[in-house]
A and B are shown apart, each in its own frame.
Chain A
Amino acid sequence: KAGVTQTPRYLIKTRGQQVTLSCSPISGHRSVSWYQQTPGQGLQFLFEYFSETQRNKGNFPGRFSGRQFSNSRSEMNVSTLELGDSALYLCASRGLGAGGLQETQYFGPGTRLLVL
């Protein structure tokens, strides 16, 4: 079974621009979560989507948004980029088990965003 894939892997943008990152979960997984990883703040939760609905949101400004499509693929958008948005953005997917959504997350390789 193919793992979680993220595109692009690397991205360079300038301040004020916007960016869209894409994540394809493991086949059959309907939950996708997004995380931001920086040296200073570590791994921080952005949001989670399940069946095209946002279920949970972290403490990030409204410039960070996301969506999920009917095929469970998810996109994350950051508008009006700031230097501090430079980070590794990770997505993770979860599948359904006998008791509902499983707790184990499977991570993609990440998209490294550099804002100049």
Chain B
Amino acid sequence: GNSVTQMEGPVTLSEEAFLTINCTYTATGYPSLFWYVQYPGEGLQLLLKATKADDKGSNKGFEATYRKETTSFHLEKGSVQVSDSAVYFCALTRNTGGFKTIFGAGTRLFVKA
């Protein structure tokens, strides 16, 4: 079946540190991959996406590359800010046999000033 595994949190970093949140997936076929971010008290916001192997999604300094050979979509940012503190969700979407999104468990990030 389809599944998404994220590194467990919380992740605590100092401002300007390098961020990596690991995400691996299991899926048949060729899913699209997403990172969503959820700030306290809010819904999910799309952060970035990639729809095929070797695609790199990027937004607001965050990047992730769709690696089919390692079935991974790790999220990275070179220099985090306090305002990046949130919960990050990796997700895959399949559109065969009905549209379906599978989310990872989420990784909470705390950034200290």
Q: Contact residues of A with B, CB < 8 Å?
A: 4, 6, 31, 33, 42-43, 45, 48, 55-56, 90, 92, 94, 101, 103-110
- B46 close to chain A: CB less than 8 A: yes
Interface residues on B, range: 20 to 34
Whether the pair A107, B101 counts as a contact (CB closer than 8 A) is no
Of all chain A residues, the one with the shortest Cβ separation from B32 is: A103
Main secondary structure of the interface of A (DSSP, over half): strand
- B17 close to chain A: CB less than 8 A: no
A101/B99 contact (C-beta < 8 A), A42-B106, A43-B89 known: yes
- Taking CB atoms and an 8 Å cut-off, the chain B residues in 18-54 that contact chain A are 32, 34, 36, 41-46, 49, 51
Q: Contacts A31-B99, A48-B98, A56-B99 given; 11 further ones with Cβ under 8 A?
A: A33-B99, A42-B103, A43-B106, A45-B100, A94-B99, A103-B49, A103-B51, A104-B46, A106-B46, A109-B42, A110-B42
- How far is B102's CA from A16's CA once the two chains are assembled, in angstroms? 30
- How far is B98's CA from A55's CA once the two chains are assembled, in angstroms? 7
Provide a sorted-by-A list of 15 A–B residue pairs whose CB atoms are within 8 angstroms: A4-B43, A42-B105, A42-B106, A43-B89, A43-B106, A45-B101, A48-B99, A55-B98, A56-B98, A90-B43, A94-B99, A103-B93, A104-B46, A104-B49, A109-B41
- Taking CB atoms and an 8 Å cut-off, the chain B residues in 45-81 that contact chain A are 45-46, 49, 51
Chain A residues near B93 (CB-CB < 8 A): 103
Whether the pair A90, B44 counts as a contact (CB closer than 8 A) is yes
Chain B residues near A105 (CB-CB < 8 A): 46, 101
Whether the pair A108, B43 counts as a contact (CB closer than 8 A) is yes
Of all chain B residues, the one with the shortest Cβ separation from A50 is: B99
Chain A residues near B51 (CB-CB < 8 A): 103
- How far is B95's CA from A33's CA once the two chains are assembled, in angstroms? 14
Q: Which of B32, B43, B49, B103 contacts A110 (CB 8 A)?
A: B43
Whether the pair A107, B44 counts as a contact (CB closer than 8 A) is yes
Whether the pair B99, A43 counts as a contact (CB closer than 8 A) is no
- How far is B36's CA from A88's CA once the two chains are assembled, in angstroms? 16
